[in-house]
Structure 1
């Protein structure tokens, strides 16, 4: 069996959900550190641009078009990675779409789609990764959860439920790996606070307002946490002081923390500009939101100045 690499250089890293947000930022940073990256998402043209960008800087990248709600397409990501690079050292399950609004205002089809992508899609990725890791004797699986994994958030109901499932799965997998004696396979969960990425633009929205949240974090701190986890994964990694404080508060005062979080979510939502209901990018990819940063904080400043 091969040994676990001890540096980012020459790692083979699969990044699912790589066309924007955390995934894009992590893939570019990992490639800059010398890792070979396999980037997967629905927006193939954007992935191809990333491959060219990474290649122009001396890095190595492979693009795979995939919708993670289809297990065959997820398996194809792993197959392409093995065919090109011979192994997978790290698999980053950066999976997450949202639907914002009161639970009953969100169509049932949208709830179902969130489960298909955020939970089932992540399960498919974890399954493909762990089967490969078991064969080669080592590997790191990084699941992108949320502080919603610990603190259920009003107006993000099914999204929060799927992210709670992500954390539960990660915990179970680590115990099963221990029971099986697969001590050199690790599973970690990233748990950010609300972050300014294109997630907000891509989310379905039934609130009647532009999406927003208090004290959004910069995506760079989450990108750094993901990259750091490639070598030093933690079963639970709240990112930033707000996520850490929320996590601790929920353990000490769960009911109060949930009420406060809900009140903040509602208050912030009502401050956004008027917006007609839409399904965002949860069914089909859109051109809006192509970077790491989502531009949400800049919009919030404009809205606040207009009040």
Structure 2
């Protein structure tokens, strides 16, 4: 048997920082897609309150006008762009507006999204393709536009893609959404490595939200008899906005919003078959409101803008006050404590399985 010489020198690659020096939020121009409701709306309000210049983009022009007027009446700086992120030319229109209005932009947040509730074999291919236009292709177009801008100006900028716990582990009923978010996660991880290798001036962050209390359920296309809604434990949109805005100022690879999201990923990795059974049991009853009939398909936001200016949805779960995992991402000591706690949970589940 061949022996490896003990004196062989093994050189490990030196990990060079991609870049340094993301601006303080008060000095930034931040682009936010899906800004007319939910997480995007909360993020726009929080960013403007902290001094950032906001470029809000969505399909609902009336809601965007109201948002910008609201912010400007508070002495804050904001502009809007009516845009469908599934159209590449609309993404360019967003970037052009930011550059024409403010000379540049410093953070680009790919947040726009819409879901489909229904069994995989029942969902039409046209609906699936349309949803991918928004959830996946919108992120691709936005990422390319933002990276091109940051490279051309040579100053560090932040690209923040909003994923999902269902992008880390599949689910029932929302199979199309999970598939699109899996694609978003794969795209984000891949471009991060490429950009890091070439030392491009771009910080790439993937946000992993758990189930969030937004109008997401109301905007979704439903094939079900009962109204889509989050049940069980859900998190406030402010927790996602906090993660996004922290990533705009600090280089973060990933931020999980809610231990729910991290545990879901961990379980799926360590105990895939057990997780299958948990999902099959838990996710059917906790994705609908059994007391309401589902809205007609034409009222969904799949093909046109949904209603705007609502931060919260009509969900039926227990809404947490915030997210410990987001706090942990901002505090190394707290982060270690949370990691130990999640590890202990996983170990306990492993022992039970044995």
Q: Give the TM-score taking structure 1 as reference length.
A: 0.91
Residue 145 of structure 1 aligns with which residue? 163
Residue 297 of structure 2 aligns with which residue? 278
Say whether the 8 Å CA contact 2:34–2:57 is kept in structure 1: yes
Q: Which sits farther off after the overlay, 64-73 or 209-218?
A: 209-218
Number of matched pairs: 297
Residue 35 of structure 2 aligns with which residue? 18
Q: In the TM superposition, what is the alpha-carbon distance from 1:233 to its structure 2 partner? A: 4.0
Say whether the 8 Å CA contact 1:142–1:233 is kept in structure 2: no
Give the alignment partner of residue 61 of structure 1, picking from 73, 78, 81. Answer: 78
Residue 180 of structure 1 aligns with which residue? 198
Structure 1 residues 218-229: aligned runs within 5 Å: 218-229=236-247
Q: In the TM superposition, what is the alpha-carbon distance from 1:234 to its structure 2 partner? A: 2.5
Q: Could you list the per-position Cα deviations for residues 206-233 of structure 1 after superposition, in whole angstroms to 9, with x for gaps in the alignment?
A: 1211112321222221111111111124
Residue 312 of structure 2 aligns with which residue? 293
3-state SS of 1:67 partner: coil
Q: Which sits farther off after the overlay, 64-73 or 243-252?
A: 243-252
Structure 1 pair 177/298, CA: closer, same or farther in 2 (3 Å)? closer
Q: Give the TM-score taking structure 2 as reference length.
A: 0.80
Residue 327 of structure 2 aligns with which residue? none
Tell me how large the CA RMSD over aligned residues is: 2.0
- Give ranges in structure 1 of 5+ residues lacking alignment: 301-307
Rounded to whole Å, the distance in 1 between the matches of 2:288 and 2:57 is 35
- Give ranges in structure 2 of 5+ residues lacking alignment: 1-18, 320-354
Residue 262 of structure 2 aligns with which residue? 244
Rounded to whole Å, the distance in 2 between the matches of 1:99 and 1:207 is 10
Rounded to whole Å, the distance in 1 between the matches of 2:29 and 2:109 is 11
Structure 1 pair 298/170, CA: closer, same or farther in 2 (3 Å)? closer
Rounded to whole Å, the distance in 2 between the matches of 1:176 and 1:281 is 34
Say whether the 8 Å CA contact 2:59–2:84 is kept in structure 1: yes
